[in-house]
Structure 1
Amino acid sequence: MSTAPTATPSVALQDVSTAGRGDSSGMIERPGIGFGRLIRIELRKMFDTRSGFWLMMSIGILSLIATVAVLIFASDESLTFESFATAIGVPMSILLPVVAVLGVTSEWSQRSGLTTFTMVPRRGRIIAAKLAATVLVGVTSMLLAVGLGAAGNLLGATIRGVDLTWGLSIAAVGKIILANVLGMLMGFVIATIIRNSAGALVGYFAVAFVLPTITGILYGTQAWFRDISRWVDFQANQVQLYDGAMEANDWGYLAFTGFFWLVIPLFIGVRLAVRSEVK
């Protein structure tokens, strides 16, 4: 007769009851799932869905249209590397944060969290992997935009018979990449707080496009807001990165507002995501 111990009903019920709460600390995480593997999984989940596929298709199509428009309509003087890189990068900067939003909210909106958080009960690791994947996509996509912009510049100069004009320094390219990564992080942060695809998308577009309009009106009409705008307006400090000229105080304003617009909300969002119930 076998004398191997068996789990008591109370222990089994305890393991099951912890499956949908918090960090699911009562569950045992499957071995062999390293953080690098989690990042690769999250990258694949961003793009192998129908929404992710069509988002990438939209970015590619819009970038192609913008490049062709530069080739056709730009004057010889404006046919530069910066023009092509901007034409390709603008659609990316608008749509890539949507990828970041859906990468987070899919666990709650599409019920994939039941599987994800069962395989890896420590939700903090999953969110950290999503964050790393978001940054990686942001950097890679902007490097791709720079590469395609360089190719478009070479092609445009050859077709139009004009001299090559580059214009953007490596430092300027780095600031543009940082600005776009910050935009993706804003979408990521909003998604961790709301955790609903429709609501998070509305929230992101409100912050990215409606809020700057409001702050712009306040800046133009209210003297008190002009005095404090650099301390509270994160989007304005982020746009400063595109201008290329960043003094020490500009970096300070960006860091200060980024802390309050990104770091603190991210902490709150992660706490809510870790403790929320997945149905």
Structure 2
Amino acid sequence: MTAVRAELRKLFTTRLWWGMAIAVLLSGAAFAVLFAFVFTSDAVQGPQAAVAPRTDAAIAKAVFTGGLQVGYLLTLAIGVLTIGSEYRHQTVTATFLAIPRRGRVMAAKVAALLVVGAFYGVLSLAGAVGAGSLVLGSKGIAPFADTSIWRTLALCLLVLGLWALIGLGAGILIPNQIAALLISVAVAWIVEPVLGLVLALTEWGKNISPYLPSRATSAMVESTSGGFDGQPIEQLSWWAGALVLVAYAVVMAGLGTWRTLRADIS
């Protein structure tokens, strides 16, 4: 617990945490308002109308999770910075001298990132649910028409924590902090989602696409999206998507921990 408190103190004694907090809160609210107006109007037409949510519960889920992609990109960045900044500023030496057991340090970082992910998840949902409920209520749509909405909101907290762990692994496996940050965000934001859409167009790729991180994230929060042809992309059930994303987080954090335990630190 001492190591976990130390890791949390490293974040919350800098200006990074409240800058990220403002961004997460505002992005959650902004995307919720945008999606609420889009999905409650006739703006969704043509091929994309096939994947537009129809029921009150589906609309509410789409609205409340609209800013989730921005949220998990931010927690991914925090995961990279958690270890990358230590190597960049050479504070990792003092960290391992203070707590000589590296496994304990890495376990503390994992626990702290899960807490941080849940913290930012609460802020994101506060903005999304608050702003989105106002718009949905004004449109005559019940924001909490189904109990599964609460499950989706809870899974959003887990999503942000797991993406932070993926960032932790990336920050260790890519030694340069700036390169790790740019590569991680580029892959998660552009390369991997586009790859998922391309794979969905092929017969053999349809079986691979649902297991990519972004697709597993969408499955967890039951967010349906369409491919280039506007047709819904096949995805996993919410619990299977959760298991897939947990596996990615475990592998990335595990590889990062293994490398840290074996690397020479000077």
Matches within 5 A, 1:1-279: 36-63=1-28, 65-66=30-31, 82=61, 85-87=64-66, 89-153=68-132, 155-156=134-135, 160=138, 165-167=143-145, 169-209=149-189, 210-221=191-202, 223-230=203-210, 232-243=211-222, 251-252=239-240, 255=243, 258-259=246-247, 261-279=248-266
Q: Partners in 2 of 1:212 and 1:150 — Cα distance?
A: 25
Q: For structure 1, list consecutive stretches of 5 or more residues without a partner in the other structure.
A: 1-35
> Is contact 2:24–2:124 with CA below 8 Å preserved after alignment?
no
> Judging changes above 3 Å, is the alpha-carbon distance between structure 1 residues 125 and 88 closer, same or farther for their aligned structure 2 residues?
same
Deviation string 1:223-262 (CA, Å, 9 cap, x unpaired) is 22224444x53432232112179x9976457536753x33
CA root-mean-square deviation: 3.6
Bigger shift: 52-61 or 111-120?
Answer: 52-61
- The 1:108/1:90 distance shift into structure 2, 3 A limit, reads same
The answer on whether the counterparts of 1:111 and 1:278 sit within 8 Å (CA) in structure 2 is no
Same amino acid, percent of matched pairs: 23
SS at 2:200 equivalent: helix
Which consecutive unaligned segments of at least 5 residues does structure 2 have? 42-52, 225-234
Which stretch of the first structure deviates more once superposed, 61-70 or 200-209?
61-70
Distance 1:88 1:216 in 2: 20
Output the amino acid matched with 1:187. Answer: G
Question: Which is higher, the Rg of structure 1 or of structure 2?
Answer: 1
CA change 1:258–1:206 in 2 (3 A) is farther
Partner of 2:46: none
C-alpha distance in 2 between matches for 1:39 and 1:139: 15
How many residues are aligned here?
239
SS for the counterpart of 1:102 is helix
